[in-house]
Amino acid sequence: MTIARTATPSTARAINDRLALDLLLAQGPLTATELRGLTGLSRPTVADLLERLQRAGLVTVAGESGEQRRGPNARLYALVADRAHLAGIDVRATGVTLVVADLTGRTVATAEVPAGPEHGTDLTGRTIEALAQACAGAGVRRLHTVAVGAPGVVDPATGELHNSGQLPRWHAELLAGLRAQPETEVLLENEVNLAGIAEHRIGAAQGREDFVLFWLGHGTGASVVLGGRLRRGASGGTGEIGFLPVPGTGGLPTADGCDNGFDSTVSSRAVCELALAHGLTVPPGGPVEQAEGVLRAAVEADGPAETAFLTELAERIAIGVAAVCVVLDPGCVVLGGELGRAGGAELAALVERRLAGLCPFSTEVRPGTAGGGAVLAGAVLTAGDAVRRDFFGEP
Q: Which of 16-25, 70-79, 148-157, 167-176 has the lowest mean pLDDT?
A: 167-176
Phi, psi of 322 (to 5 degrees): -60, -40
When mean pLDDT is compared over 160-164, 275-279, 282-286, the highest value belongs to: 275-279
b/e 88-105 (16+ beta carbons within 10 angstroms → b): bbbbbeebbbbbbbbbbb
pLDDT digits (tens, 9 = 90+) for 351-389: 999 999 999 999 999 999 998 899 999 999 999 999 999
What dihedral do alpha carbons 233, 391, 112, 376 form, nearest 10°?
A: 40
How far is Cα 262 from Cα 320, in angstroms, rounded to an integer? Answer: 7
Task: Identify the pLDDT of residue 166.
Answer: 59
Closest CA to 210 of 195, 191, 229: 229
Q: How many Cα atoms sit within 13 Å of 113 on the Cβ side?
A: 24
Q: Which of 155-169, 183-197, 205-219 has the lowest mean pLDDT?
A: 155-169
Q: Which residues contact 168 (CB under 8 A, 6 or more apart)?
A: 93, 115
Task: Identify the pLDDT of residue 2.
Answer: 44
The DSSP bridge partners found for residue 64 are 75
Computed over every residue of the chain, the mean pLDDT equals 91
Query: Above 50 in pLDDT, residue 233?
Result: yes
Banded model confidence at residue 390, pLDDT cuts 50, 70, 90: very high
Pairing of strands 332-336, 161-162: unpaired
Task: Identify the pLDDT of residue 64.
Answer: 84
Sign of CA dihedral 236, 239, 245, 249: negative
Query: Above 80 in pLDDT, residue 70?
Result: no
Q: Which of 78-87, 118-127, 235-244 has the lowest mean pLDDT?
A: 118-127
pTM above the 0.85 mark?
yes
Task: Identify the pLDDT of residue 182.
Answer: 86
pLDDT, mean of residues 280-293: 93
Task: Identify the pLDDT of residue 92.
Answer: 84
Banded model confidence at residue 94, pLDDT cuts 50, 70, 90: confident
How far is Cα 170 from Cα 175, in angstroms, rounded to an integer? Answer: 9
Phi, psi of 6 (to 5 degrees): -100, 130
How far is Cα 348 from Cα 139, in angstroms, rounded to an integer? Answer: 43
